[in-house]
Chain A
Amino acid sequence: DAGVTQSPTHLIKTRGQQVTLRCSPKSGHDTVSWYQQALGQGPQFIFQYYEEEERQRGNFPDRFSGHQFPNYSSELNVNALLLGDSALYLCASSLGGQGYSNQPQHFGDGTRLSIL
Chain B
Amino acid sequence: AQTVTQSQPEMSVQEAETVTLSCTYDTSENNYYLFWYKQPPSRQMILVIRQEAYKQQNATENRFSVNFQKAAKSFSLKISDSQLGDTAMYFCAFGSQAGTALIFGKGTTLSVSS
Interface size for A (C-beta < 8 A) is 28
A109 in contact with B42 given A42-B104, A42-B105, A43-B104 (CB within 8 Å): yes
Contacting residue for A109 out of B44, B101, B102, B106, CB 8 A:
B44
CB proximity to B under 8 Å, residues A85-103: 88, 90, 92, 94, 96, 100-103
Interface residues on B, range: 20 to 34
| Residues from chain B with Cβ under 8 Å of A90 in the complex | 45
A43:B91 contact, CB within 8 angstroms: yes
A110:B105 contact, CB within 8 angstroms: no
Nearest Cβ distance between residue A104 and chain B, in whole angstroms? 5
A106:B102 contact, CB within 8 angstroms: no
A105:B44 contact, CB within 8 angstroms: no
Using CB atoms, name the residue of chain B closest to A90: B45
Query: Interface of B with A (CB < 8 Å)?
Result: 4, 33, 35, 37, 42-47, 50, 52, 91, 93, 95-107
A-B contact pairs, 19 of them (CB 8 A): A33-B102, A35-B104, A41-B106, A41-B107, A42-B93, A42-B105, A42-B107, A43-B91, A43-B104, A55-B100, A56-B101, A92-B102, A94-B99, A102-B33, A102-B97, A103-B99, A104-B50, A105-B95, A107-B45
